[in-house]
Amino acid sequence: MTLQEAQQQVDNWIKTYGVRYFSELSNMAILTEEVGELARIMVRTYGDQSFKESDKESSLADEMADVLWVLICLANQTGVNLTEAFDKNLQKKTLRDNERHLNNEKLK
């Protein structure tokens, strides 16, 4: 699935089942909440914290998908084509960092 196809699928789902998009500000707050849930799983899986009983049902993949879903909602609401935005961002990073990481002693 392409990013454009994902944007279309989310839009179709919202129009079929979601009634309408939440406001942009609500979705920004929801995105923050979802990133926090992802962070909780990451710190318990790869960091120093132990899992609480209530965390054991959580899935890293599901939390990442929740973040992606809300990000796609925000892109759709604000008219951002994620394919174009990602391509431009990759070009920017390539121009800016094409030697930076190769020359980073910390990464060797």
Report the CATH number at residue 56.
Answer: 1.10.287.1080
Quote the number of domains for the chain.
1
Q: How far apart are CA 31 and CA 38, in angstroms?
A: 10
Please name which of 60, 62, 64, 75 lies closest in space to residue 28, comparing C-alpha atoms: 75
Question: What tens digit of pLDDT does each residue of 23-64 get?
Answer: 999 999 999 999 999 999 999 999 999 998 888 788 999 999
**Per the domain annotation, does 94 fall within a domain?**
no
Expressed as residue numbers, the domain containing 63 is 3-81
Query: For residue 100, is it within any domain?
Result: no
pLDDT at residue 5 in the model = 98
What is residue 52's predicted lDDT score, i.e. its pLDDT?
87
Residue 49 lies in a domain: yes
**Segment 89-107, tens digit of pLDDT:** 999 999 999 899 999 999 9
96 domain-assigned: no
Residue 90 covered by a domain: no
What pLDDT, on the 0 to 100 scale, is given for residue 57? 84
Where does the pLDDT of residue 19 fall: very low under 50, low under 70, confident under 90, or very high at 90 and above?
A: very high
